[in-house]
């Protein structure tokens, strides 16, 4: 019997992809500590690790960069679809719709090798999909998604978005964020992908399930909500007073605490350092100071630590990324983890079908319709 809501603390399967929060701390991708991966790797190295099960050699990494770069071109009919989507469409819905379209337009992958190939294509194409739709509806420009000398996904995304070369710190920040967001065990979107994959549905459908789940503000949307909170204040002092008031009113403060970690989120300090560097480089420390004041107050009042989403919000904002793009960046990163889990699930598959504790009425006597009384007075 499940005694806690949301399957908290319930083991729902086995996986060799990731470990989260063992003894309340830590995060490892296929045995590698997130601190080491964030400090020494490109996102592409981590993508290779998750999708293929091992870190690449220098030659393999060079070949992987080339593969991803050559996979950027979008089908012309997909571009037509992106042009026809409403300007008001949420970017997460753009990615979900584009994924579904690609699943219709391309052959369904069946082998693990084919699924890895599709995963690589999606990682390479998501920045182009997002930015083609964005620029077409914002300014009427049909960008050339292949016109970039940036070799990394981070640099490529930023160059398409801003139509200029990113700074080294901007590129480094997004590269780090992609690594930190790449995988997180049986989180809501990954579990949704595995449930879909367990029915032996296709790879694209599983990714669509994951994107739809990530769209919710209690999962991927938390970074957007965190920025909305931070922007409510104009100083560290006003943030301290404002958070005290919100807590007194029992309002939910997004970006703090975690369902698995009990002591700290190991990713938070990494992205916090990037946010601080950006603030110092741009001579605009107000946002960072406000963020730190909120962090201090949440720890003092509720003993809650910031999770990855909280400082990602200010880091993305300082990279001039639109708020609605925060969660799509999460998609670009997490597609690597989703792919690893989908492949793992289907290689040793068992249908995922839990049970529930029934809370409805006791067995009732059926009443024919002619004898039923109306509830309307």
**Residues with catalytic roles:** 219, 258, 309
| Closest to 326 (Cα-Cα) out of 234, 225, 253, 190 | 225
| Closest to 345 (Cα-Cα) out of 208, 227, 228, 202 | 202
DSSP type of residue 166:
P
**148-182 burial: b if 16+ Cβ within 10 Å, else e:** bebebbbbbbbbbbeeeebeebbbbbbbbbbbbbb
What percent of the residues of the chain are helix, what percent strand, and what percent coil, each to the nearest 5? Answer: 60, 5, 35
| Closest to 25 (Cα-Cα) out of 355, 370, 263 | 263
Q: How many helices (H) and strands (E) does the chain have?
A: 16, 3
DSSP string covering 209-243? HHHHHHTSTTTTTHHHHHHHHHTT-SSHHHHHHHH
What is the rounded distance in angstroms from the CA atom of residue 331 to the CA atom of residue 334?
A: 5
User: CA angle, corner 146, sides to 39 and 136, nearest 5?
Assistant: 105
Q: Retrieve residue 241's tokens.
A: 């007073």
Strand residues in 47-86 grouped as ranges (E): none
Q: Which residue bears the tokens 């790797």?
A: 41
């Amino acid at each position: 019997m499940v005694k806690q809501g949301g399957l908290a603390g319930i083991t729902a399967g086995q996986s060799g992809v990731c470990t989260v929060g063992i003894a309340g701390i830590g995060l490892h991708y296929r045995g590698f500590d997130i601190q080491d991966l964030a400090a020494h790797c490109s996102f592409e190295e981590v993508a290779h690790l998750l999708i293929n099960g091992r870190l690449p050699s220098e030659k393999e990494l060079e070949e992987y960069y080339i593969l991803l770069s050559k996979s950027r071109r979008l089908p012309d009919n997909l571009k037509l679809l992106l042009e026809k989507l409403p300007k008001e469409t949420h970017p997460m819905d753009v990615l979900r719709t584009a994924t579904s379209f690609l699943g219709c337009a391309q052959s369904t992958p069946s082998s693990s090798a084919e699924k890895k190939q599709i995963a690589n294509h999606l990682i390479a194409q998501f920045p182009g999909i997002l930015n083609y739709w964005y620029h077409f509806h914002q300014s009427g420009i049909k960008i050339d998604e292949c016109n970039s000398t940036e070799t990394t996904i981070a640099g490529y995304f930023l160059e398409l978005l801003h139509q200029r070369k990113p700074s080294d710190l901007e590129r480094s920040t997004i590269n780090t964020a992609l690594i930190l967001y790449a995988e997180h065990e049986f989180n809501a979107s990954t579990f949704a992908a595995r449930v879909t994959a367990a029915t032996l549905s296709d790879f694209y459908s599983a990714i669509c399930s994951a994107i739809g789940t990530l769209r919710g503000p209690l999962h991927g949307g938390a970074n957007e909500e965190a920025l909305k909170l931070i922007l409510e204040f104009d100083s560290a002092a006003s943030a301290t007073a404002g958070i005290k008031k919100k807590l007194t009113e029992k309002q939910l403060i997004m970006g703090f605490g975690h369902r698995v970690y009990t002591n700290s989120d190991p990713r938070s300090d990494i992205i916090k350092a990037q946010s601080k560097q950006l603030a110092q480089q741009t001579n605009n420390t107000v946002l960072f100071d406000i963020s730190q004041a909120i962090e201090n107050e949440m720890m003092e009042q509720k003993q809650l630590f910031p999770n990855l989403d909280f400082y990602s919000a200010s880091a993305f904002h300082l990279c001039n990324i639109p708020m609605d793009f925060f969660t799509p960046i999460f998609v670009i990163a997490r597609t690597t983890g989703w792919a690893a889990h989908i492949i793992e699930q289907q290689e040793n598959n068992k249908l995922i079908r839990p049970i529930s504790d029934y809370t409805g009425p006791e067995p009732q006597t059926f009443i024919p319709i002619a004898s039923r009384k109306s509830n309307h007075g």
